[in-house]
């Protein structure tokens, strides 16, 4: 289903307002079963995303493809836990992009392992 998507809805910024982020959904886990579907409804498990980072001072754009499943397993092996939540509701996906308020949940492990440097 295609929705009209305002650019502000799919972007997020860092705390110091230096970088702007967009997260494009590339791949989901097809056979994943949501253990809490009775609470939160139908959700999809995100596997790969494309992170588009724009430096607001220099307008440089950097794109990174991240495999969130591999990053989550790497952080679990190094630090014994992961704070990332890869489950996303279909209503939080707009034209292939994930809405801005879900970016921190998806990218927490990648930021902790310095795949994304802010």
Overall number of domains in the chain:
1
CB 48, CB 27: distance < 8 Å: yes
The residue count of the chain comes to: 118
Domain assignment present for 74:
yes
For 12-65, the pLDDT digits (tens) are 999 999 999 999 999 999 888 877 777 778 889 999 999 999 999 999 999 999
Domain assignment present for 2:
no
Domain assignment present for 89:
yes
Residue 64 phi/psi, 5-degree rounding, is: -135, 130
Domain assignment present for 40:
yes
For 79-112, the pLDDT digits (tens) are 877 767 888 998 899 999 999 999 988 988 888 8
Q: What is the pLDDT of residue 58?
A: 95
| pLDDT tier for residue 4 given thresholds of 50, 70 and 90 | low
Instruction: Name the residue with tokens 């990218």.
Output: 107
In the predicted structure, residue 1 carries a pLDDT above the cut 60: no
Q: What is the pLDDT of residue 6?
A: 81
Domain assignment present for 118:
no
Q: What is the pLDDT of residue 3?
A: 58
Structural domain boundaries enclosing 27: 7-112
Domain assignment present for 117:
no
């Amino acid at each position: 289903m295609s929705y009209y998507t305002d650019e502000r809805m799919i972007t997020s910024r860092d705390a110091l307002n230096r970088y702007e982020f967009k997260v494009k959904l590339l791949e989901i886990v097809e056979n994943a079963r949501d253990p809490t579907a009775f609470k939160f409804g139908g959700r999809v498990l995100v596997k790969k995303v494309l992170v588009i980072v724009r430096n607001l001072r220099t307008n440089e754009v950097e794109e990174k493809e991240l495999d969130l499943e591999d990053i989550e397993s790497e952080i679990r092996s190094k630090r014994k836990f992961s704070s990332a939540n890869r489950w996303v509701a279909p209503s939080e996906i707009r034209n292939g992009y994930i809405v801005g308020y879900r970016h921190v949940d998806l990218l927490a492990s990648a930021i902790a392992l310095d795949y994304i440097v802010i």
